[in-house]
Chains A and B, each alone.
Chain A
Amino acid sequence: MIKNKKFVMVMALLFCLFGLLFISTYLYINDTNKKETRTRISVIVYGSNSDRWTTLKQGIDQATEDFGAEVNFCLMSSETDAKEQTLLLEREIENGSKGIIIAVTDSRNMAETIQEASLKVPVIMVETKADDVDNIIYISADNYSMGLNIGRSVYLNSKKNSKVAVYVKKMQRSSVYERYQGFMDSFKYTENKITGWELAKDDDPAEYLKRMIKEDPVDVIVALDDMSLEEVIDAVQGTATSLEVYGIGSTSKIVHNLDYGVINSIVFQNEFNMGYLSLQEVLSNIHHNGGVPDIEVEFRTVNRETMYLPKNQRLVFPIVQ
């Protein structure tokens, strides 16, 4: 009888264990099916103009949909304040951000902050990098080559020995600096005269450009980033000069002005890819910390004729899905 009782008890216990196993496995399977890991990621970009980052944001949004994350997109209130971006970065990490995607506003002054942040959470740099940092992935097009290409475009499309002004601004950003290097190198062996129009800190860009156009007549103005190019557009529009404008960038305003002939040619990078890959990388770095090499995205050179070619129009006018 005692043996019998024991047997029944053992079987009942086994039955309970079996039930528990069944329920827990069932819940686990359902859980893994339904639960999405919503990792909080912060995207910190320079500047205060959200239009500038539309395409990058589209890429990030697509990646968010594909991989699942909660993305906080942060703009600055000023254009180039390293201190503000540092504070923004620190605040995001404090608020529980598990990964940072950053377009560095000041390559030299942000280096230490970025390096420190990378010890806490994975950091991916896009478009502009910080100088001398280790083990941080940088996703960008080859800025030097972009500079080289816009230089070639100027050389090929403008009249012979034209006088070219480079509107230089925000050289503290590595991207702009490298483009400048590439651009200058493209004119190394030409007869063209290159002048640098460097905006002083307190100058108003519009005023400055208008003044320079008047005081230092040139055939071509080249701008090396989106905001500078938009400023050049504003300055050139309405003037009766036959100035040719070239530049790097692809905001809707730039594209529109390329279409309307204000700009002759642009070089632009695939910022959709940049955004998509940056989120993909930051998420994979949260899970496995590995020294992945820098990622290069493509860039293209288009003018008014080539911008509507099927292969280009898909990148120049991204379909908003």
Chain B
Amino acid sequence: MKAKIIKLLQRAVHYYRHKSIQFTLSISFTLVALTGMGFMGTIIYSRFISSTKEIIIGNNKQVIEQVNLNLNIYLRNMMRISNAMYYSVIKKIDLSNESLDKEMNLLYEANKDNLVSIVCFRSNGSLVAATPINNLKKNLHVTKQNWFVKANQEIENLHFSTPHVQNLFHDSSFNYHWVISLSRVVELTYNGNINRGILLVDMNYSGIEQIFAKVNSNNSGYVYLIDSNGEIIYHPKQNLINSSLLHENNKVAATYKDGTHEEDFEDEERIVTVRTVGYTGWKIVNVTPAKEFYMSYNQMKFFTGMIIALTIFLITFAIQFVSYLISNPLKKLDDSVKDLEYGKLDLNIYIGGSYEIQHLGRTITSVVLQMHELMKEIVIEQEKKRKSEFESLQAQINPHFLYNTLDSIVWMVESERYQEAISMVTALASLFRISLSKGKNIITIQEEIEHAQNYLYIQKIRYKNRFQVKIDIASEIYECSTIKLIVQPLLENAIYHGVEYMDGEGEITIKGYLKDEDIYIDVIDNGLGMPEEEINLILRDNTRVHKKGSGIGLSNVHQRIQLYFGPKYGLLIDSELDEGTTVHIHLPRVKYNGNTLNGEEDS
């Protein structure tokens, strides 16, 4: 596994190294930006989640406080009515000669918005007074009703009932009121005697509904009300709960202390805030399903995602642009330098971009210029060197040859063959004249052939006419240019290797002709010939110079021709053992024009 990862990393690094600078820059920056944005997004998102939760819990508390306030007003109103009825009316009246009706009616009229009825019973369930209607139903067992029982059980307290349908009075319309009852034990005075009675204040249940409907109209969660036993007093979906179509966690909620709780009810996570209502022990319960958070989480997720994506997009764009700005001058510089690799010296090096790249461009330009100069100098020096070498080669007239010739002349003079000696000296003089040629390298073919004839003349005398010479030069090539001293070395070779040992039967032919617009000068002998290895060696080996000859080898001739005229030209040797050798000199056809070749000044 580890090896695999390392291999993968290596491959990535390898891949990375072979990419352009722009690619590398943009990928690196983008990765850094992505990581940064991802990190930032996560922080923003998690911060948002915790703050949203805090805000929702805060809102829930606010809502509950508001409901509590309104509910308190409602309940206090009930208590106020009950207290007013008891302390200001019942306690002050002797029922044996007075009635409660007037005060009761006044109190009812003053509070009839939420009030259904005010009733006072004796402890046996008979009616003392009631408003607004007072005809009790027949066969009514008031003493068995819950509010009556509870008031009698704890006589010192006020008792708030859960909502119920009022079952007291006869009403010919089919109206039934859902009410909350506040019941308490009161002292009724009859002829100065105190009897127990029950005072009942029935408040309209719709008053509670209104308080809750207001806060339940917005969509985030809901608020319901339970009594201390967990019985539901109000729920926005009370009918559904009554019909068992919906369930509520009310029994558990009754056990919660005031504050915020998290619960899991019917596979739903919810946040529950509880507040106990003073005096009654009722509890206001605010329920916010967790999915309400998630919905806002999703929205936040979307916005965070979008903002991150947008930022990444902009950053990528900027990175692309910046990396383009950085890498483009480098690329241009690279492109302009590339030609240098192909040997192009006449370059226009790009200078642009940032200061560093401009500096680089200038430096490369100056380097190229210096290189250019150096190369020129090298070429000139090489040329000079070549020329001096060439000239020294040409100057190599073997002392042996001179000694032998001069010896022949001495011998001629001694034997009084003056005429021959004169001719010999003249030929030698002519040989040297052409050899020197006033320092020129390029001469006409005619001059070259003349030089060859002088040489052959001397050699024929020395070898006592042991060979015949035939010269056949096409007249149209006479005036063409050649480099000097190229035929004479071939003749020397022909004599020493070919005909020296042939007694009077040797024959050397010099043929000059045009073929395919090129000049060919063939030196043909009928000597011993050479094996193939010898032929291959002779053109390459500079050291193979005949001791007694002019000192200029065939390879020297070949090199010189190629140096001057190019690799296409030079010597070509055909030889067969015992048949003879033909050496072809291949030259371009160039008209002689003073001492210049191709119009190039020969220095």
Chain B residues 225 to 255 lying within 8 A of chain A, measured CB to CB, are: 236-240, 242-245
B139 interface hit (Cβ, 8 Å): yes
Does A317 lie within 8 Å of B176, measured CB to CB?
Answer: yes
CB contacts (< 8 Å) of A272 on chain B: these are 239, 242-243
- The segment from A171-179, A221-229, A248-256 found at the interface with B is A248-256
Within 8 Å by CB of A62, from B138, B165, B205, B237, lies: B237
- In the A-B complex, the 6 residue pairs with the closest CB atoms: A252-B174, A314-B242, A256-B174, A273-B243, A317-B165, A313-B165
B501 at interface, CB cutoff 8 A: no
Closest beta carbon of chain B to A156's beta carbon, Å: 20
Q: Provide the bound-state CA to CA distance between A255 and B175, in Å.
A: 10
B316-338 CB contacts (< 8 Å) to partner A: 317, 320, 324
Bound CA–CA A313/B146 (angstroms): 14
A14 to B309, CA, bound (A): 12
From 136 to 189 in chain B, residues with beta carbon under 8 angstroms from any chain A beta carbon are: 137-139, 162-165, 167, 174, 176, 178
Query: With the chains together, A276 CA to B167 CA distance in Å?
Result: 28
Expressed in whole angstroms, the minimum distance between the Cβ of B286 and any Cβ of chain A is 19
Interface size on B (CB < 8 Å)? 32
Nearest Cβ distance between residue A197 and chain B, in whole angstroms? 26
- State the Cβ distance, A284 to closest chain B Cβ, in Å: 14
- Say whether A25 contacts B238, CB under 8 Å: no
List residues of chain B with CB within 8 A of the CB of A298: 244
CB distance from B332 to the nearest CB of A (A): 11
Q: Does B302 contact A (CB under 8 A)?
A: yes
| Complex interface: chain A residues within 8 A of B236 (CB) | 321
Interfacial chain B residues near A22, Cβ < 8 Å: 306, 310
* B-contacting residues, A241-268, CB 8 Å: 252-253, 255-256, 259-261
User: B165 to A321, Cβ gap below 8 A?
Assistant: no
Tell me the smallest distance from the CB of B247 to a CB of chain A, in Å.
Answer: 14
Q: Is the CB of B178 within 8 A of A317?
A: yes
B466-493 CB contacts (< 8 Å) to partner A: none
Residue A18 interfacial (CB < 8 Å): yes
Contacts of B138 in A (CB 8 A): 261
CB proximity of A317 to chain B, nearest CB, Å: 5
13 contacts between A and B (CB under 8 A): A4-B324, A7-B320, A14-B313, A18-B310, A22-B306, A29-B299, A59-B243, A62-B239, A255-B174, A256-B174, A319-B209, A319-B238, A321-B238
Residues of chain B with a CB closer than 8 A to A25's CB: 302, 306
Is A18's CB under 8 angstroms from B313's CB?
A: yes
Nearest Cβ on chain A to B305's Cβ, whole angstroms: 10
Interface residues of B in 169-220 (CB under 8 A from A): 174, 176, 178, 205, 209, 213
> Bound state CA distance, A18 and B311, in angstroms?
11
Q: Is the CB of A15 within 8 A of B237?
A: no
Question: Which among B243, B299, B320 has the greatest number of chain A C-beta atoms within 10 A?
Answer: B243
- Shortest Cβ distance from B214 into chain A, in angstroms? 13
Q: How far is the CA of A314 from the CA of B299 in the complex (A)?
A: 41
By a CB distance below 8 angstroms, the chain A residues around B299 are: 29
A-B contact count (CB 8 A): 77
Q: Does A123 contact B (CB under 8 A)?
A: no
Contact with B along A290-321 (1 / 0, CB 8 A): 00000000100000000010100111111101
Task: Flag if A276 contacts B165 (CB, 8 Å).
Answer: no
In Å, the complex CA distance between A273 and B246 comes to 11
Given the interface contacts A15-B313, A18-B309, A317-B165, does A276 sit within 8 Å of B174 by beta carbon? Answer: no
Taking the closest CB of chain B, its distance from the CB of A310, in whole angstroms, is 7
CB distance from A190 to the nearest CB of B (A): 29
Chain A residues, CB < 8 A from B302:
25-26, 29
Instruction: Give the contact-size bracket for chain A.
Output: 35 or more
Known: A273-B245, A276-B240, A319-B178. A11 touches B309 (CB 8 A): no
* Additional pairs, 4, CB under 8 Å, beyond known A18-B313, A277-B245, A308-B167: A18-B309, A270-B243, A276-B245, A314-B242
With both chains docked as a complex, state the minimum distance between the C-beta of A137 and any C-beta of chain B, in angstroms.
16
Are the CB atoms of B317 and A15 closer together than 8 Å? yes
In Å, the complex CA distance between A25 and B298 comes to 13
**Residues of chain B lying within 8 A (CB to CB) of residue A107:** none
Question: Which residues of the partner chain B approach A255 to less than 8 Å between Cβ atoms?
Answer: 174, 176
* Minimum Cβ distance to chain A for residue B113 (Å): 18
Contact A58–B239 (Cβ < 8 Å): yes
> B225 → chain A, closest Cβ, in Å?
13
Query: In the complex, which of the residues B139, B209, B320, B324 contacts A321, with contact meaning CB atoms closer than 8 Å?
Result: B209
The contact of A315 among B178, B243, B306, by CB within 8 Å, is B243
Minimal Cβ-Cβ distance residue in A for B213: A321
Chain B residue contacts of A315, Cβ below 8 A = 242-243
Distance between Cα atoms of A256 and B176 in the complex (Å): 9
A-side contacts of B317, CB under 8 Å: 11, 15
A313 touches B243 (CB 8 A): no
Contact B240 A62 (CB under 8 A): yes
Taking a contact as CB atoms under 8 Å apart, the answer to whether A7 and B324 are in contact is yes
Chain B residue numbers with a CB within 8 Å of A316 are 165
* Known A-B contacts A7-B324, A15-B313, A22-B306; A319 and B239 likewise in contact (beta carbons under 8 Å): yes
CB of A318 within 8 A of CB of B239, answer yes
A310 touches B164 (CB 8 A): yes
Chain B contacts for A276, CB-based, 8 A: 240, 243, 245
Q: Which residues of B contact A310 (CB under 8 A)?
A: 162, 164
Q: Which residues of B contact A15 (CB under 8 A)?
A: 313, 317
B348: shortest Cβ distance to chain A, in Å?
Answer: 18
Interface residues of A in 59-79 (CB under 8 A from B): 59, 62, 66
A256 / chain B contacts, CB cutoff of 8 Å: 174
Max chain A C-beta neighbours (<10 A), residue from B176, B238, B313, B320 = B176
Residues of B within 8 A of A277 (CB): 245
Q: B174 to chain A: which residues have CB within 8 Å?
A: 252-253, 255-256
Most buried by A among B163, B165, B309, B324: B165
- Distance (whole angstroms) from the CB of A173 to the closest CB of chain B: 24
A317: chain B residues at CB < 8 Å are 165, 176, 178
**Inter-chain contact B238/A313, CB cutoff 8 Å:** no
A15 to B313, CA, bound (A): 8
Task: With both chains docked as a complex, state the minimum distance between the C-beta of A249 and any C-beta of chain B, in angstroms.
Answer: 14
Query: Which residue of the partner chain A has the closest CB to B242?
Result: A314
Q: Which residues in A have their C-beta under 8 angstroms from that of B176?
A: 255, 317
The chain B residue with its CB closest to the CB of A14 is B313
> How far, in angstroms, from A26 to B299 measured CA to CA in the complex?
9
Closest chain B residue to A19, Cβ basis: B310
Task: List A contacts of B213 (CB < 8 A).
Answer: 321
| Nearest CB in chain A to that of B171: its residue | A256
A89 to chain B, nearest CB (A): 27
Q: Mark A110-146, 1 if CB is under 8 A from B, else 0.
A: 0000000000000000000000000000000000000
Q: List chain B residues, Cβ under 8 A from A14.
A: 313
Please, which residue of chain B has its CB at the minimum distance from the CB of A297?
Answer: B243
Minimal beta-carbon separation of A280 from chain B (angstroms): 9
Residue in chain B with minimal CB distance to A255: B174
